[in-house]
């Protein structure tokens, strides 16, 4: 028999539950070319996250609901989606913070081809990332110890080391929506991370790559990317710094 203490705790927890409606954009090319919006009503603690709600729907109601997730803790960057019209990580979005009194809309991020439900083709995004050479390039003899750097030099690119490649920035950029050819803010952030690293020797090369017609000059300083970044990276500022480095050739 359950103890009275347990009963009380359970009663308190259950009392916090609400009924929320999740309005999810569905697309399954194996069944139809049509996109539909489907409502799911679930009972859930509003202190849970949108990812918990999606799991609940998938596990209890519709196993075909398809979305990406891995770490569930804001690290892997795989569950960026458009929640109530704004790009967010489902695992970092609390239900109570997004007005659960109204239907909560969930749809895939924009500007990339939808493969199924909330899953998009990330390949063009990762291709732009690969194109900016997101790795340390050094010349000369192999060092016999680690390559040292002052605290000030490390600080120079600290912000852009925080990127988790979730694509929330690039897929919120109207320039990227237009034709998808623009490198996009995430690729520029990752170029910034190495251009301003005092140990790296390929800054000029990366700047030339971004001097392309689809490079940094396409940015119209819209700031959507900065607003969308779940890591709080000052994305637009990083893009501006890369533009300035292209003009002054100082980095």
Q: Which of 247, 188, 238, 251 is nearest to 215 (CA)?
A: 188
Of 77, 100, 185, 203, which one interacts with ligand F3S (CB under 6 A)?
A: 185
> Taking CB within 5 to 8 Å according to partner kind, which of ligand FES, ligand SF4, ligand F3S, none is near residue 71?
ligand FES
Residue 91: C-alpha distances to residues 13, 138, 173 (Å): 21, 37, 22
Of 126, 201, 222, 234, which one interacts with ligand F3S (CB under 6 A)?
A: 222
Beta bridge partners of 36: 26
| Alpha carbons 116 and 120: distance in angstroms, whole number | 7
Residue 68: C-alpha distances to residues 80, 90, 194 (Å): 8, 10, 28
| Alpha carbons 9 and 22: distance in angstroms, whole number | 28
Q: Which is nearer to ligand F3S, 175 or 210 (CB)?
A: 175
Residue 42: C-alpha distances to residues 22, 54, 233 (Å): 8, 10, 34
List the x/- string, 138-177, binding to ligand F3S by CB under 6 A: -----------------------------------x-x--
Supply φ then ψ for residue 7, to 5 degrees.
-60, -40
List the x/- string, 95-134, binding to ligand FES by CB under 6 A: ----------------------------------------
Q: Does residue 112 bind ligand SF4 (CB under 6 A)?
A: no
Report the SS3 class of residue 176: helix
Q: Which of 129, 97, 125 is nearest to 111 (CA)?
A: 125
Minimum Å gap between C-beta 245 and ligand FES is 30
Q: Which is nearer to ligand FES, 68 or 199 (CB)?
A: 68
Q: Does residue 223 bind ligand F3S (CB under 6 A)?
A: yes
| Alpha carbons 147 and 127: distance in angstroms, whole number | 29
Q: Does residue 163 bind ligand FES (CB under 6 A)?
A: no
Touching ligand SF4, residues 151-190 (CB under 6 A): 163-169, 185-186, 189
Supply φ then ψ for residue 193, to 5 degrees.
-55, -30
| Alpha carbons 165 and 239: distance in angstroms, whole number | 16
Minimum Å gap between C-beta 71 and ligand FES is 4
Q: Does residue 128 bind ligand F3S (CB under 6 A)?
A: no
Touching ligand FES, residues 45-74 (CB under 6 A): 69-72, 74
Q: Are strands 18-26 and 104-107 parallel, antiparallel or unpaired?
A: parallel
Interface with ligand SF4: number of residues (CB under 6 A): 16
Q: Which residues bind ligand FES (CB under 6 A)?
A: 69-72, 74-79, 89, 91
Q: Which residues bind ligand SF4 (CB under 6 A)?
A: 77, 163-169, 185-186, 189, 228-229, 231, 233, 235
Q: Which residues bind ligand F3S (CB under 6 A)?
A: 173, 175, 185, 219-225, 235-236, 239
């Amino acid at each position: 028999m359950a103890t009275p203490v347990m009963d009380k705790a359970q009663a308190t927890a259950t009392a916090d539950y609400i009924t929320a409606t999740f309005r999810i954009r569905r697309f399954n090319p194996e069944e139809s070319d049509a996109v539909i919006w489907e409502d799911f009503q679930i009972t859930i603690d509003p202190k849970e996250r949108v990812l918990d709600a999606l799991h609940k729907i998938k596990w209890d109601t519709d196993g075909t609901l398809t979305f990406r997730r891995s770490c569930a803790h804001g690290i892997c960057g795989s569950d960026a989606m458009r929640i109530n019209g704004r790009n967010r990580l489902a695992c970092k979005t609390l239900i109570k913070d997004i007005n659960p009194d109204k239907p909560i809309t969930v749809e895939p991020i924009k500007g990339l081809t939808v493969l199924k439900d909330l899953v998009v083709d990330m390949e063009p995004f990762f291709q732009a990332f690969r194109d900016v050479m997101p790795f340390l390039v050094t010349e000369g003899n192999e060092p016999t110890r680690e390559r040292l750097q002052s605290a000030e030099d490390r600080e120079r690119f600290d912000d852009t080391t925080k990127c988790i490649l979730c694509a929330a920035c690039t897929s919120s950029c109207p320039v990227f929506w237009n034709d998808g050819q623009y490198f996009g803010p995430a690729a520029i952030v990752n170029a910034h991370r190495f251009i301003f690293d005092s140990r790296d020797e390929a800054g000029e090369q990366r700047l030339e790559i971004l001097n392309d017609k689809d490079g940094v000059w396409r940015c119209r300083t819209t700031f959507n990317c900065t607003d969308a970044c779940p890591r709080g990276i000052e994305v637009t500022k990083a893009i501006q710094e890369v533009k300035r480095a292209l003009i002054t050739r100082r980095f």
